[in-house]
Amino acid sequence: MTIKRLYGAIVAQAREPIFYREMGVPDTVEGRFDFLVLHMHLVNERLVATGEAGIALGQELLDHFFEDMDASLREIGIGDLKVPKEMRTLAQAYLGRSALYGQTIAKGDNAALGAAIARNILGKEDAASAAPLASYAIETTHALNKRSLEQFLAGELEFPAPKEVAANAE
């Protein structure tokens, strides 16, 4: 139950309409996937930082994420023979984006984070267009870092309010 609650909270946050209506995230299958990847990365980074139990929980969370992606591919009509290839593509996308987000956040390089978000989520080269989302990712990192492993185990997550973060980024 914990993983389903935790994953559900992450998906719910990544699907908040404000991101799509006001912050430029494309309301497409790709846009939703890429924005969910950002959220999964941010949560998983925090879990890994909490130690062995957090690493195990993070792996369970990633396993659930990829099971959900597999089910989603099948639901939209991708054939059984093509699903494994698509899953490899999704896994590579997740790993590449996660590594890039992790590096830029760890270095405190907000410009590089904005460029990565602009390219991977918004499909743009203009890092300035992603400034509100980069600020949101940084604020989310700070908020998640205040959560204990016990809170994650209980499926309790609190994300910053996107509208407030966007207003502060301007």
Cα–Cα distance for residue pair 43/156, rounded to 1 Å:
12
Nearest to 118 by CA among 102, 107, 105, 129: 129
pLDDT at residue 167 tops 70: no
pLDDT at 71: 93
pLDDT at residue 168 tops 70: no
Q: What is the tens place of the pLDDT at every residue in 1-30?
A: 489 989 999 999 999 999 999 999 999 999
Rounded to the nearest integer, the mean pLDDT of the chain is 92
CB neighbours of residue 139 within 10 Å: 18
List the domain boundaries for the chain.
2-169
Cα–Cα distance for residue pair 27/45, rounded to 1 Å:
26
Global pTM? 0.93
Of the chain, the percentage scoring pLDDT greater than 90 comes to 78
DSSP H helices, 15-157, are 17-21, 29-49, 52-75, 83-107, 110-117, 131-145, 149-153
Q: How far apart are the first and last CA of the chain?
A: 39
pLDDT at 163: 77
pLDDT at 170: 57
pLDDT at 84: 92
pLDDT at 28: 93
Q: What is the tens place of the pLDDT at every residue in 120-149?
A: 999 998 888 899 999 999 999 999 999 999
Let me know: does 136 contact 165? Beta carbons within 8 Å.
Answer: yes
pLDDT at 2: 82
Cα–Cα distance for residue pair 105/107, rounded to 1 Å:
5
pLDDT at 156: 80
Cα–Cα distance for residue pair 87/98, rounded to 1 Å:
16
Q: Angle at Cα 151 formed by Cα 150 and Cα 153, nearest 5°?
A: 60
Let me know: does 47 contact 61? Beta carbons within 8 Å.
Answer: yes
Confidence label for 157 from pLDDT (cuts 50, 70 and 90): confident
